[in-house]
Chains A and B, each alone.
Chain A
């Protein structure tokens, strides 16, 4: 069954990977900033921000896709602005699929990042400050490295969510082969047409392998980072 991939399958897989990777990388700075604000700041309306960030997690994905459609249509509030100023439209484009995936991955990434930011020992940041490190240097050399395992976990979780994204994507950018037809959408489309059982099975297997691969890579990376500090130099 698993001979080489057909050009069509390869197109579907590479499109899915491109959309997911772009979505995770694009949303990462926003996710980190939101996680930092939620973990460290106290301000009125924090609960509201927290709820807004989690909205895509609890709202039906189709509704999220519909909301994106309203906002980014050529006469929508954001879509008209994008079109007038930059001449671009995300509708029915792979960039739109990446946006939908990013929005759906955001809450999961913020959760993972927030946990790791809250786990940073703030006494270490204080120590860095008393050693003369500026707040920016303290952030880059102490806070960020200590939050790194959570950063990796958040990115993998977000990537897996993007690879599986279906509802928001299909209602926002539809099902266009080569442009917005990701693996889940292709599986769904193939299930509707008789005689495509093999394509469904192959794509399903590939999506499982990709998710598994991401998980293993994350675990490996995490062990490499946290494990090495206890492995060596224990002689006395």
Chain B
């Protein structure tokens, strides 16, 4: 599934602009902190409206200023894994996982639980999870919502060294099993080379 994104938005004194044209696979949005990478993901997910441009995933136009198309976030099917995991604190892990569940999905619940190694966490409350556990649950929750595109916002930032390598391998495995295109945001070049990603550099102005 191809990504065709060309958007910009003025945030304060800066212009945040990005152009992504990518056939499939893992695309990485790379740049220093504060350059607007998360803003780009928010525009794609529909949480922030771009000033101009268009966003197309496969055959579906999510946003097009000229054609006045602007799908609301709940109709965009963009699986967004936030940097701060955003698990629902009043729901147990199981209910969090199933919150956005929609079928038919590329990979079933048990396979996702096995893949992410979160079977023993299902009855826990999010407040009792470690950073790595919470991040894996957040990824599982997003995958179960059957997204057309996976947006990962620095998913390794809260993890320590060995956990980073583990989750990186997991992301590669998710891509291998589901073939959902991934847009991966990071400021760490080593992560990107490990993912063998198509890199889009976002420069500061």
Residues in A whose Cβ lies below 8 Å from that of B88 = 124, 127-128, 142
The chain A residue with its CB closest to the CB of B122 is A233
Q: Is A234 an interface residue (CB 8 A)?
A: yes
Contact with A along B116-154 (1 / 0, CB 8 A): 000000011111101000000000011001000000000
The residue from B86, B127, B128 contacting A123, defined by CB atoms under 8 A apart: B86
Q: Is A132 an interface residue (CB 8 A)?
A: yes
Given contacts A126-B47, A127-B80, A234-B128, contact A229 B86 (CB under 8 A): no
Residues in B whose Cβ lies below 8 Å from that of A133 = 74, 99-100
- On whether the beta carbons of B86 and A134 are closer than 8 Å, the reply is no
Question: What CA separation (Å) do A232 and B122 show in the bound complex?
Answer: 12
Interface hits, A157-196 → B, CB 8 Å: none
The chain A residue with its CB closest to the CB of B146 is A132
- On whether the beta carbons of B99 and A128 are closer than 8 Å, the reply is yes
Residues in B whose Cβ lies below 8 Å from that of A129 = 46-47, 72-74
The residue from B45, B84, B124 contacting A233, defined by CB atoms under 8 A apart: B124
- On whether the beta carbons of B90 and A130 are closer than 8 Å, the reply is no
The residue from B74, B84, B130 contacting A132, defined by CB atoms under 8 A apart: B74
Q: Is B181 an interface residue (CB 8 A)?
A: no
Question: What CA separation (Å) do A229 and B78 show in the bound complex?
Answer: 29
Q: Is B204 an interface residue (CB 8 A)?
A: no
Question: What CA separation (Å) do A215 and B136 show in the bound complex?
Answer: 41
Q: Is A62 an interface residue (CB 8 A)?
A: no
Query: What total of chain B residues lie within 8 Å of the partner, measured CB to CB?
Result: 31
Query: What total of chain A residues lie within 8 Å of the partner, measured CB to CB?
Result: 24
Q: Is B82 an interface residue (CB 8 A)?
A: yes
Closest beta carbon of chain A to B160's beta carbon, Å: 16
Interface hits, A121-157 → B, CB 8 Å: 123-124, 126-135, 138, 141-142, 145-146
- On whether the beta carbons of B47 and A132 are closer than 8 Å, the reply is no
- On whether the beta carbons of B86 and A127 are closer than 8 Å, the reply is yes
Question: What CA separation (Å) do A82 and B82 show in the bound complex?
Answer: 54
Question: What CA separation (Å) do A134 and B102 show in the bound complex?
Answer: 13
Closest beta carbon of chain B to A141's beta carbon, Å: 8
Closest beta carbon of chain A to B38's beta carbon, Å: 12
Residues in B whose Cβ lies below 8 Å from that of A236 = 130
Closest beta carbon of chain B to A151's beta carbon, Å: 13
Q: Is B89 an interface residue (CB 8 A)?
A: yes
- On whether the beta carbons of B102 and A132 are closer than 8 Å, the reply is yes
Residues in A whose Cβ lies below 8 Å from that of B102 = 132
Contact with A along B70-94 (1 / 0, CB 8 A): 0011111111101010101110000
Q: Is A48 an interface residue (CB 8 A)?
A: no
Residues in B whose Cβ lies below 8 Å from that of A59 = none
- On whether the beta carbons of A130 and B47 are closer than 8 Å, the reply is yes
Given contacts A130-B79, A233-B128, contact A145 B142 (CB under 8 A): no
- Name B residues whose Cβ lies closer than 8 Å to a Cβ of A: 45-47, 72-80, 82, 84, 86, 88-90, 99-100, 102, 123-128, 130, 141-142, 145
| 9 new A-B contacts at CB < 8 Å, known A129-B72, A135-B74, A232-B125 | A126-B86, A131-B74, A131-B100, A131-B141, A135-B72, A145-B90, A229-B127, A233-B123, A233-B124
Report 27 cross-chain contacts, Cβ distance below 8 Å, ordered by A residue. Answer: A123-B86, A124-B88, A126-B73, A127-B80, A128-B100, A129-B47, A129-B73, A130-B47, A130-B79, A130-B80, A130-B145, A132-B75, A133-B100, A135-B72, A135-B74, A141-B99, A142-B88, A146-B89, A146-B90, A229-B90, A229-B126, A229-B127, A230-B128, A232-B128, A233-B123, A233-B128, A236-B130
